[in-house]
Amino acid sequence: MSLRHALLGLLSDRQASGYDLLKTFDTSLANVWPATQSQIYTELSKLADAGLISVAAEGPRGRKEYTLAPEGLAELRHWLTETAPQRNTRSDILLRVFFLGVLTPDQARDYLTGLADLSAREHADLAALADTIDWGEDGLSVHGRIALEYGLRFNAMRRDWAEWAAAQIT
Amino acid sequence: MSLRHALLGLLSDRQASGYDLLKTFDTSLANVWPATQSQIYTELSKLADAGLISVAAEGPRGRKEYTLAPEGLAELRHWLTETAPQRNTRSDILLRVFFLGVLTPDQARDYLTGLADLSAREHADLAALADTIDWGEDGLSVHGRIALEYGLRFNAMRRDWAEWAAAQIT
DNA sequence: CCTCGACATTCCAGTTTCGACATGTCAAAA
DNA sequence: TTTTGACATGTCGAAACTGGAATGTCGAGG
């Protein structure tokens, strides 16, 4: 049910069309809550039907700019403050670690060093991204910066762990 | 499609019934790949139909003990070595961070300190768990230990990050 | 003027996941 | 003896997610 709240959250910053939102999902939210085009348009329709958002303006090419309704903002705040975040930790990467025993030690080590490399690469990508953005003082910048810092720390942690783990394989 | 491989992986260690596997999912795999009872039984039937596992023994109360077929082991190895792990980073917890701007600074800080507390608690739980287990030298122990170490490092990282982030909110 | 790429939406078929419901057996404690 | 709780499986509908196809508009560059 979080896709709905992700959309409400983005619309709380500024009004946008489905197309705009899709772009945002593919860039800044890609690593946090991926969503496809069909999902986004479907959910926008539902949100409009429910009265949580409304069409503020129509532009060329059938463009519909949605804006957050007061009820939508209330729902967003309710979600943030009243509902417990569920740690949705489904991780393909970590699942594989449990079963490395069916491989040869060499293969298992390869997997772990591959993970270390991947983490190092993602860390570098995020660091590069951080440089390109000029961080203003507005809300979304502050919190975007905080989320990005999470990504940096996470990848550094995972790189170190994967290197340590590879060394554990005898 | 990873539920299928999780089941194959568990059966590679020892034969088990759907009920046994459900227990394992609720305990050791809960933080990595949660699955419900209906999902597990459904997938076991499909795996048996596909010939990747087979019923090794039937016990009381209709209990069916499944064992991994050679084709299943081959599929498991193929998954581990030939297919790229997809980083499935959908995180409710992190998504919320993006939208903390709609709350008051106090509320936003509360959320982050709550996350720090949660992480500290989970870290403590895992540390306690590590003490109760006597780590043998067999494959699953080694890799279970590696996965647990990930949990420890992850929660420590997240605690530090959340504390840092709370301090960023002005 | 024309073409091409970005803009923009809608629909759909198939798979995965979730949560609940339904059914029944066995062993041990009260 | 009865009752209770753990054992054990199966099925269903709704919701969420995936991936792609279909359709069309607009603006800028050649």
Domain assignment of residue B150, yes or no? yes
What is the reported pLDDT for B100? 94
β-bridge partners, B53 = B68
Domain assignment of residue A111, yes or no? yes
Q: Are residues B72 and B98 in the same domain?
A: no
Q: Are residues A51 and A105 in the same domain?
A: no
pTM: 0.91
Q: Are residues A96 and A138 in the same domain?
A: yes
Which of these three, B82, B112, B140, is where a domain ends?
A: B82
CB contact under 8 A, A101 and B160: no
Q: Are residues B161 and B107 in the same domain?
A: yes
Interatomic CA distance for residues A3 and A94, integer angstroms: 24
Look at residue B50 and give its three-state secondary structure: coil
Q: Are residues A99 and A156 in the same domain?
A: yes
Judged by C1' against the alpha carbon of B36, the nearest nucleotide is C18
In this structure, the strands spanning B53-58 and B64-68 are: antiparallel
Q: Which residues contact A102 (CB under 8 A, 6 or more apart)?
A: B9, B12, B73, B76, B77, B80, B139
Interatomic CA distance for residues A101 and A33, integer angstroms: 32
DSSP letter for A34, please. Answer: -
Count structural domains, chain A: 2
Mean of pLDDT values over A57-76: 94
Q: What is the CATH number of the domain that holds B35?
A: 1.10.10.10
CB < 7 A contacts with chain D (nucleic strand): A 1-4, 34-39, 60-62; B 17-20, 22, 37-38, 41-42, 44-45, 59-64, 90
CB contact under 8 A, B80 and A153: no
Q: State the smallest CA–CA distance between residue B12 and chain A in angstroms.
A: 8
Mean of pLDDT values over A135-159: 85
Q: Are residues A101 and A154 in the same domain?
A: yes
Q: What share of chain A is helix, strand, coil (3-state, %, to 5)?
A: 70, 5, 25
CB contact under 8 A, B100 and A143: yes
Closest alpha carbon to A53 in A26, A14, A84: A14
If one compares A93 and A170, the residue with the highest pLDDT of the two is A93
Q: Which domain holds residue A132?
A: 92-168
Which of these three, B82, B114, B144, is where a domain ends?
A: B82
Q: Comparing A8-17, A127-136, B81-90, which segment has the lowest mean pLDDT?
A: A127-136
Interatomic CA distance for residues A6 and A85, integer angstroms: 13
Q: Are residues B100 and B70 in the same domain?
A: no
Domain assignment of residue B101, yes or no? yes
β-bridge partners, A55 = A66
If one compares A139 and A36, the residue with the highest pLDDT of the two is A36
Question: Looking at the predicted structure, is the pLDDT value of residue A128 above 70?
Answer: yes
Here the tokens at position B129 are 């768990």
Pairs of residues, one from chain A and one from chain B, whose beta carbons lie less than 8 Å apart? 180
Question: pLDDT band at A20, cuts 50/70/90?
Answer: very high
Mean of pLDDT values over A8-16: 95
Domain assignment of residue B52, yes or no? yes
pLDDT digits (tens, 9 = 90+) for B142-165: 888 899 999 999 999 999 999 999
Domain assignment of residue A87, yes or no? no
Question: Looking at the predicted structure, is the pLDDT value of residue B141 above 80?
Answer: no
Domain assignment of residue A149, yes or no? yes
Domain assignment of residue B135, yes or no? yes
Which residue of A81, A96, A161 is in closest CB contact with B80?
Answer: A96
Give the chain A residue nearest B101 (alpha carbons): A139
Q: State the smallest CA–CA distance between residue B92 and chain A in angstroms.
A: 6
- Closest residue, by C-alpha, to the C1' of C16: B1
Question: Looking at the predicted structure, is the pLDDT value of residue A153 above 80?
Answer: yes
Q: Are residues B63 and B97 in the same domain?
A: no
Q: Are residues A100 and A157 in the same domain?
A: yes
Domain assignment of residue B87, yes or no? no
Which of these three, A82, A105, A136, is where a domain ends?
A: A82
Q: Are residues B34 and B15 in the same domain?
A: yes
Q: Are residues A96 and A78 in the same domain?
A: no
Burial profile B107-120: b = 16 or more Cβ within 10 angstroms, e = fewer: ebbebbeebbebbb
Question: Looking at the predicted structure, is the pLDDT value of residue A137 above 90?
Answer: no
Q: Are residues A98 and A159 in the same domain?
A: yes
Helix H or strand E encompassing A53: strand A53-58
pLDDT digits (tens, 9 = 90+) for B55-90: 999 988 999 999 999 999 999 999 999 999 887 778
DSSP letter for B16, please. Answer: B
